[in-house]
Amino acid sequence: MTALGTLDPSPEQIQALVAASSADKSAVVMINLLRFKDRADGIDAEDGISGAEAYGRYAAAVGEHLDRVGARVLLALQAQESVIGPDNHEWDMVLAVQYPSRHAFLEMTSDPSYLQIHGHRAAALADSRLIACTPLGT
């Protein structure tokens, strides 16, 4: 079981993101660190699939939502071994997704049709981090 807030933002984190979206209209890159469950639960539990497979369902469906808000995946990487940090295999995948603004990210993630597919993400992940980043010098 994961600690509270590791799969979804806390209310305070959402408030900070909303405040930042009002002040900062520039592009944002969301870095996703993902660790998959051995077996998916939630909406994918009855299918007997892995967390990685459930995340694949989410990834296949999220593209149209990214397109709608003008976002794009910059990179998707399978994590290998840790060179600096804990020896254990902490993350399975690293994604970088660029959004035109924080507002675009919030618009997408609050859309009811997006929320329908979000269940696959929740079913897939044992742990995650989502870090909003901007290029240096901007």
- 98-136, pLDDT tens digit by residue? 999 999 999 999 999 999 999 999 999 999 999 999 988
Global pTM reads 0.87
Burial 51-66 (b: 16+ CB within 10 A, else e): bbbbbebbbebbeebb
* Region 25-133: CATH code: 3.30.70.100
pLDDT at 22: 74
The pLDDT of residue 4 is above 50: no
For residue range 38-96, list pLDDT tens digits in order: 999 999 999 999 999 999 999 999 999 999 999 999 999 999 988 888 878 899 999 99
77 three-class SS: strand
Residue 138 has a pLDDT of 57
